Amino acid sequence: MAKEVVIDSLGEACPVPLVKAQNAIKEMEVGDVLILQIDHSCAMKNVPEWARKDGHNVEVEEVDDGEWEVIIEKC
Amino acid sequence: MPENNQATTTSSSGSIRRSSTRRPRKKKKNMIPFGVGLFVLIVLIGILLGQNNATVGLFWIFGVSFGFTLQKARFCFTASMRDPYLTGGTSLTRAVIIAFALTTIGFTAIKYGAYVKGLPIPGMSYVVPISAATVIGAFMFGIGMVIAGGCASGTLMRNGEGFMMQWLVLIFFIAGSLWGAHDFGWWKELFIANGPRVFLPDVFGWAGALALQLLVLAGLFIFATKYEQKKSA
């Protein structure tokens, strides 16, 4: 079954959620799902951009005012 | 690359499988009344400011428009300098280069227009001597802005968004600027005034200066594009 990794990056500024996501994706296998919780709008843009560039499936959900979950499935 | 043979495939929404670790969605307050109210307030303030001084009213409109554009586009000078190193992406870098190119054309037009009419060229006080101080200062600012998570425009924009860490950054931004302005005379005398003051149109002519600047920017743009392609290969 696909593993699910949840990373809580609430309150962290620009590069940190992206760096955490990058490191986590490296350790995951194809088909695993990474859920990144962010509340920084820069990250809401640059994490999906990076993930799509790397070829993963990405979805962004706004779960609350100013909080998002970026769901990345490793491909 | 071959699609993963598991059930999920790419599509727009809600297709990636995930387990039940969803946080329950809080009911969102309808924000539209706030939005309309704020818009009316902005227009009223603009009119009020414009009555005393038309220029200030114009500044208000420009300021609000810039902020809106910056926020919606998520334009970020800090990211433009940081992303090539961090993720290998140069889309923001190229956006900044385009912005510079447009500004160059616009300002050349304004200045040349004044020159041709024989009027004093606006903004000549910004042609300041260049020296190592510029390089060192820029480097320090770069380090600071990446750590702070934004430079001037980004910080102000995020303040408006309600990003509280940036409120702290704003306080120090003001404090630092005040301190710098207070001591600027000293810095200027000791380090900056010795450098050459170059106004490019004086050296290359108006057309030459414009062409040179745009060529350099175009070169940087191509370099940024190639950089991203190489990094994502």
Query: What ipTM was reported for this prediction?
Result: 0.73
The mean per-residue pLDDT over the stretch B108-127 comes to: 80
Contacts of B87 in chain A (CB under 8 A): 18, 22, 46, 49-50, 53
Q: What is the pLDDT of residues A29-75, one digit of tens each?
A: 888 888 888 877 777 777 887 887 778 888 887 777 767 788 888 77
**Is residue B153 predicted with pLDDT exceeding 80?**
yes
Rounded CA-CA distance A26/B94 in Å is 28
Q: Is A42 a catalytic residue?
A: no
Q: What is the pLDDT of residues B23-55, one digit of tens each?
A: 556 666 777 888 888 889 888 888 888 888 888
Q: What is the pTM of this model?
A: 0.74
Q: Contact at 8 Å (CB) between B60 and B45?
A: yes
Rounded CA-CA distance A74/B2 in Å is 13
Place of tokens 């919606």: B72
- Inter-chain residue contact A33 with B17, CB threshold 8 Å: yes
In the prediction, which pLDDT does B175 show?
Answer: 92
Q: Which of B3, B18, B150 sits opposite A4 (nearest CB)?
A: B18
- Inter-chain residue contact A71 with B8, CB threshold 8 Å: no
Helix axis angle for A41-53 and A15-27, nearest 10°, is 30
Rounded CA-CA distance A43/A49 in Å is 9
Contacts of B19 in chain A (CB under 8 A): 4
Task: Identify which has the larger pLDDT, B145 or B21.
Answer: B145
